[in-house]
Structure 1
Amino acid sequence: MELTYLRTFREVAKWGSFTKAAETLGYAQSSITTQIQKLEEAYGAVLLERYGRKMVLTMAGEALLQYANYICRLHDESKEVVAKQSKGTLSIGTIETLASFYLPAYLQAYRKAYPDVNVAIQPGNEPFIIDAVKEGALDIGIILDPPFSDPELDCSILREEPLVIIVSPDHPLAGQGEIGVEDLENESLILTEDGCTYRAMLLKVLKSNQVTFKLSYEFGSLEAIKQCVTYGLGIALLPRIAVTEEVMAGKLAAIPFIHPECKFYTQLICAKKKWKSKAYVGFLELLSGGAREGDSDAGSELSK
């Protein structure tokens, strides 16, 4: 049975007239008559009867009207919710650095725009995130990589993410304006976990330049890495945004790492075939808008 018939039935019941219902709905009167007849056939009952010049509901019609009102109200509500995409879950895969130091201000702004959307952050390394987005297990991926492309994904650069060598303030390298790969000769390195793209880059350039180093520690935690560097247990390569507070507090020194392969960008990836809801598009636009406003100012502006 078509929802249209129930809407027509409600209008006839409201006005007590086929003619007035036809005028309101923009139908021919014969169409109104046909729809009511089909509705009565479907229910096997007379729903309306004529009293003088007015159509009034029978007992069966009175009972159906309650359901018709309820069904039409639910339908209108469902259209509104689907159109707004104001409910549900948005799953985002990203690395710890971006989850901790890049996303929070954007998530705050997104919550204001879509308060009923649950955002699920899935931490992981870049290979995991890329595969999960391709498979549809994640809606969106935010990665830190050299410029990335894939035929199955829409990829966009949000901003460049400078990498720095962090050392304790009393380390000999702390006073340098920049650090090249040759400066890392015989240094004790504290590395991020295997699968981290900038770890792989660092090891590659050290090997290709035949730089000798000591691998002191490996951690999957940025906080553990920063603490170990603070205590003079080695030096590490991290994104600058991850160490801003410690540098300002004088706990760490951060020196730009200069190398042609050390060009990393925060990038947004999503599957080309994925259906994009309004809430989904809203998050993409929020990130892209922040990137256009400027790397350093976007987050602070969003959090106001």
Structure 2
Amino acid sequence: MEFRQLESFCAVVRYQSFTKAAEKLYISQPTISTHIRMLEQEFNSRLIIRTTKNIEITPHGKELFACAQKIFTLKNDLIQKWSEENKKIIRIGASTIPADYILPEVLPLFCQKYPDIQLHIHQNDSGNILQSILNGKFTIGMVGMKSFEKELDFVPFFHDEIVMITPKQEKFLHFAQKAFNQDDLISLLKKETIILREQGSGSKKRLESYFEQINLSEKSLNIIARLNDQESIKKLVASGLGISFISAKAITDADNLLTIKLPENNLTRSLYFAYHKDYILKEHILSFIKFVQKFYAKK
């Protein structure tokens, strides 16, 4: 099996036409037909049924098409990765807080100091980013949680606090202005509607740990929504839909919210750089990590 054969097959499936596939690949239609026939011989299975009016992809053909898409993705990722080896490029996977609030603070100064370093940044939740590091998609990750993967190393760069946010309503003012205990908090949470982050979020994982510390089950709460965007959560809370927990880093003076620190066991966590243990960090990557650590050490 050759890449050209797979390319021809995928083009026929994509365009539902041998003629259009030949035009897109700049080869003859008989060559397309030959490639398909060779694949069918190799797999000993019909992949495409061709009639005078249209074509039909067999179940085996659909299965091969899905596999071929993954093969081409892996091929393109390798080509991109190898082409970057001689360039100062950092492929970063960043979870919500680093992407929305950390990087906008540090990148202007970093790029001013290191104008020859390129940063390719993709946002996702912490869980997906860690998996992508293992798969080789990202050089480093900026995430809100650790994992138990032995192949990964974690280096802290920011100390974060998760706070409770509520609408600016009189019934919540007591919690914002005076000290309260865990029993008061549990009573409040069981009475109000709650908005939480999605599974895979670092802050969600830390919140789950906090609920365990105070013996509060999520099942006892009226969870009305789960979102993956902090800004959307703030807007929904401000509108009166419910209360939530977000990073203190995400709170600004412009938000129409009450910000409430939690009692006794303050909900804190670290944000981490994550990278594969087998990956030797190049000098320009180390420069970025040290720059961010130093930036927040001063604060």
Paired residue for 1:137? 137
CA contact (8 A) 1:168 1:231 kept: yes
CA contact (8 A) 1:167 1:253 kept: yes
CA contact (8 A) 2:156 2:270 kept: yes
Specify every segment of 5 or more residues in structure 2 that has no aligned partner in the other structure, as ranges.
Answer: 1-84
Secondary structure of the corresponding residue to residue 116 of structure 1 = coil
**Sequence identity, in percent?**
20
The amino acid of 1:236's aligned partner reads S
What are the residue-to-residue correspondences of 1:237-252 with 2, within 5 Å?
237-243=245-251, 245=252, 248-249=253-254, 251-252=256-257
Paired residue for 2:260? 255
Distance in structure 1 (CA, Å) of the matches to 2:284 and 2:169: 49
Distance in structure 1 (CA, Å) of the matches to 2:255 and 2:92: 33
Count matched residues. Answer: 206
Paired residue for 1:175? 174
Q: Which moved more, 1:158-167 or 1:258-267?
A: 258-267
Q: CA deviation at 1:278?
A: 2.4
Q: Do the aligned partners of residues 230 and 144 (structure 1) sit closer, same or farther apart at CA in structure 2, a change above 3 Å counting?
A: same
CA contact (8 A) 2:91 2:140 kept: yes
What are the residue-to-residue correspondences of 1:205-224 with 2, within 5 Å?
206=211, 208-210=215-217, 212-224=220-232
CA contact (8 A) 1:86 1:114 kept: no
CA contact (8 A) 1:174 1:255 kept: no
Q: CA RMSD in A?
A: 2.6
CA contact (8 A) 1:159 1:265 kept: yes
Q: Do the aligned partners of residues 223 and 292 (structure 1) sit closer, same or farther apart at CA in structure 2, a change above 3 Å counting?
A: closer
Could you state the TM-score of these two structures normalised by the residue count of structure 1? 0.60
**Runs of 4+ residues deviating >6 angstroms:** none
Q: Which has the larger radius of gyration?
A: 1
Could you state the TM-score of these two structures normalised by the residue count of structure 2? 0.61
Q: Do the aligned partners of residues 273 and 259 (structure 1) sit closer, same or farther apart at CA in structure 2, a change above 3 Å counting?
A: farther
Distance in structure 2 (CA, Å) of the matches to 1:135 and 1:178: 47
Paired residue for 1:281? 286
The amino acid of 2:246's aligned partner reads L
CA contact (8 A) 1:91 1:119 kept: yes
Residues 17-48 of structure 1: CA distance to partner in whole angstroms, max 9, x if unpaired? xxxxxxxxxxxxxxxxxxxxxxxxxxxxxxxx
Paired residue for 1:189? 194
CA contact (8 A) 1:157 1:267 kept: yes
Q: Do the aligned partners of residues 188 and 259 (structure 1) sit closer, same or farther apart at CA in structure 2, a change above 3 Å counting?
A: farther
